[in-house]
Amino acid sequence: MPTQSKKVYLSPSSLYAFIDRAHDKHAQASAYFRYFSEEEYLLYMDVINLNQTYEIIFKKMSPSLAKDFLRIVALSDINILTPEESEIKATFKTVSNYNSMDLTFSEALMAVVASKRNITTICTFDYLHPLYGLNTFYLPI
C-alpha cells in the first residue's frame, strides 16, 4: 500500500471556513485542522492565498481579525511559499492553455506551486480544477 503524503496545500476557502465560526463548513474545517495537528501534517500556502484569505477576513469579518490572522500565521507552522519565476511562467502557460474559462490565476498558481514542490493534496471547499494530478483533501474514514 502506497504511503500517503503528509503535505497539504491550504486554499483560502479552507482557512476562511476554519476562522469564521458562522461559516457552513466551519465544523468540517475544524475537523481538518485538528486532524492535521494530530497526524503532524506539513501545511503550505503561497503568498497569493495568504493575501486572499486576509482580504476575505478583512471584508467579511473585521480588519482587526484580519490583522490577528496574519499574526497567527506568522507564529504557526504553516509554510509560506513564494512562487519562483519559473512557476509564474508555468502558471501563465497553464491559464492560457486550459480549456475552461473559470480557472483563475491564483488557482493555477496554487496548482503549479503544489505540483512543483511535490504536494499532491489541496485542502479546499471550492472546485479543484483537474491539474497536475492534484487531489482534494478528505478525512480518512
**Residues 6, 41: contact at Cβ < 8 Å?**
yes
The whole model's pTM is what? 0.90
Provide mean pLDDT across the span 108-123. Answer: 95
Return the pLDDT at 4. 66
Provide mean pLDDT across the span 53-81. Answer: 96
In the block, cell 491564483 appears at: 106
Provide mean pLDDT across the span 94-106. Answer: 91
Residue 3 has pLDDT above 60, yes or no: no
Residue 89 has pLDDT above 80, yes or no: yes
Return the pLDDT at 5. 76
Residue 139 has pLDDT above 90, yes or no: no
